[in-house]
Amino acid sequence: MYKIGEALVGKDNEVAHIDLMIGEKEGVIGAAFAHGLTNLSHGHTPVLSVIRPNLPCKPYTLIVPKVTAAGMEDVTKIFGPAQAAVAKAVADAVEEGIIPKDKVDEWVIICSVFIHPEAKDFRKIYQYNYGATKLAIKRALNDQPSLDKIMFDKDRATHPIMGFRAPRLPKWNAPYLQIALDAPDMEKVKKVLEELPKSDKIILEAGTPLIKKYGVKVISEIRQYAKDAFIIADLKTLDVGQLEVDMSFDETADAVVVSGLATVDVIDKFIYEAKRMGIYAIIDTMNVVDPVKMLSSLKEVPDIAILHRSVDSESKQKHRFELISKIKKEFPNMYIAVAGGIEPDTAPEALKEGADILIVGRYITQSKDIERSAEQFINLLGDDIDLKRVHVE
């Protein structure tokens, strides 16, 4: 038996981050424990946790420093407050029944400890590492977190050190509003970005005309003004799909668009490369006579298919909203987006048919009141992601 636990407690330079494994002496954890104790690494010397000199805790616990100890000042923090904190947390976990008393001579613990080089306050180092160790032990022995919790939080959470969100498009938050930034004028784009309301329902699109004028580097420029946004590069690729995917990926695109009029080989390579890079593959079915047949011919289907009525044909073509249900029947995991003159009076019909994404350009970007125009659509889409943190541990 062995279990794995993790916990982060505290703040500032004294913050504690504990990763630990707990298991039987006669198993893989015992073997790793012996190996760690007998194979020393410069700057990362493992040490037994002791409550005080000559009094180790049980189960025996091996502390492994994560950060290189560059001198005696760093060593003192590890051999002092951190070592004592881990040992006391283990001993208290036994006393409180978190660790069964009849297992203290059968189990061992390996505990990786983070000590920031600039940490100064020994009391906080002790306090934070004590709390993190005890919490990590409890989580390990209770098999926390549960899969349900991971699935609930993975698209809501933001890692505190990153400083930005890594946006995805979870199904449970659909439908979305995609703002098509088509005007080939970066100053106008900036104005739109400044005036858009804050919403987890909004997706940004670097439109084809914008990319043609500025190149894919415009994606990074948009990112400067909307660092947490989900940004799509509307490439409408017809050839050399892998190359265009890679270029957009390097500029931080979250999704890329290939034209459904490209050859199957081009589309297959485009989708493969996008998914290999971990970004969304989107296919634009503008002027594709039979989208279902085209999608069925692919080796792997894209993440999103767009039912697109071209700007120049809006007065002649009708929206093909009836295709939404047909495509979803064949490809239930695929998102369906609709584009081409979508307005507040046509959006409800698309949503009723099952559209996951409304793509809107001029109605919002050329509006005298951009915020109000965007909110007309957002009000049709339902609530934003729930950002409230619920502490259940």
> pLDDT tens across 334-378, in order?
999 999 989 999 999 999 999 999 999 999 999 999 999 999 999
The whole-number pLDDT of residue 43 equals 77
Low-confidence ranges of the chain (pLDDT < 70): 311-316, 384-393
What is the structure's pLDDT at 313?
61
Catalytic amino acids? 17
| E strand residue ranges, the chain | 2-9, 16-24, 47-48, 50-52, 55-56, 60-65, 107-113, 176-181, 202-206, 231-237, 255-259, 280-284, 304-308, 335-339, 357-360
Q: What is the model's pLDDT at position 389?
A: 44
Q: For the chain, what percent of residues have pLDDT higher than 70?
A: 96
For the chain, the first-to-last Cα distance in angstroms comes to 23
What is the pLDDT at residue 386?
A: 55
Determine the Cα–Cα distance for residues 242 and 3; give it in Å rounded to an integer. Answer: 42
For the record, the structure tokens of 67 come out as 């950060």
The closest alpha carbon to 179, from 31, 1, 40, 373, belongs to 373
Rounded to whole angstroms, how far apart are CA atoms 342 and 301? Answer: 25
- 130: closest CA among 88, 177, 78? 88
pLDDT at residue 48, as a whole number: 94
- What domains can be seen in the chain, in order of their start residue? 2-144 (3.30.230.60), 171-381 (3.20.20.70)
Q: What angle do CA 170, 175, 178 make, to 5 degrees?
A: 95
